[in-house]
Amino acid sequence: MGETIPVMHACGHDLHMSAWVGTAELMAQNRQHWRGTLMLVGQPAEEILSGAAAMLKDGLFTRFSKPNYALSLHDEPTLPAGVVGYHPGFFRASADTVEITIFGRGGHGAAPQTTVDPIVIAARTILGLQTIVSRENNPMDPAVITVGSIHGGGRWPTSSPSRSSSC
């Protein structure tokens, strides 16, 4: 396994919650102009792709009425400040994650034909994964595959080849 390095998702949750609270306040102040039930949902664990499933398992739509309409929001760094972007239908609606472990068989650097090099296999795997979208998917259907990290190797020579007596 590779080393876990703490990182931050940093998509602007403070902005999300400010917009959430502001929307609730405006909707409450203008209650006479609309009817129905306002349901504001903040999804936990969005970064690790488990929040929505946990909310459904917890009975989100059995404990509360299923809404007639749904609006979602996310900040967008490509838009200038003060501009609101809009997209009808599903948009950035799904994500999944997978961890792949590749095993190999080491050997001497002078005899690479006797090895099964996991670094070469990993490189070929990454190239194969990165071409799925461009070669296996209809270009009109949105899809993204990202290889986010690769961790390889666990050994480094302890002495130079010219000084080693174990060859």
pTM: 0.51
- Reduced to 3 states, what is the DSSP secondary structure of residue 142? coil
Which of 52, 67, 96 delimits the end of a domain?
A: 96
- Kindly provide the residue ranges of all beta strands, DSSP E only, lying in the chain, ordered along the sequence: none
Number of domains in the chain: 2
**CA 52 – CA 46 distance, rounded (Å):** 7
Say if residue 37 is in the same domain as residue 25.
yes
**CA 47 – CA 44 distance, rounded (Å):** 8
Say if residue 67 is in the same domain as residue 55.
yes
Which of 46, 67, 96 delimits the end of a domain?
A: 96
Residue 162 in any domain: the answer is no
pLDDT band for position 167 (50/70/90)?
A: very low
Residue 112 in any domain: the answer is yes
Say if residue 92 is in the same domain as residue 114.
no
In order, the DSSP letters of 42-89 are: PPTTTTTT-HHHHHHHTTHHHHSPPPS--------TTSPTT------S
64-108 pLDDT, tens per residue? 887 777 777 777 778 898 888 887 777 765 677 788 999 988 888
Q: For residue 83, what are the domain limits?
A: 9-96
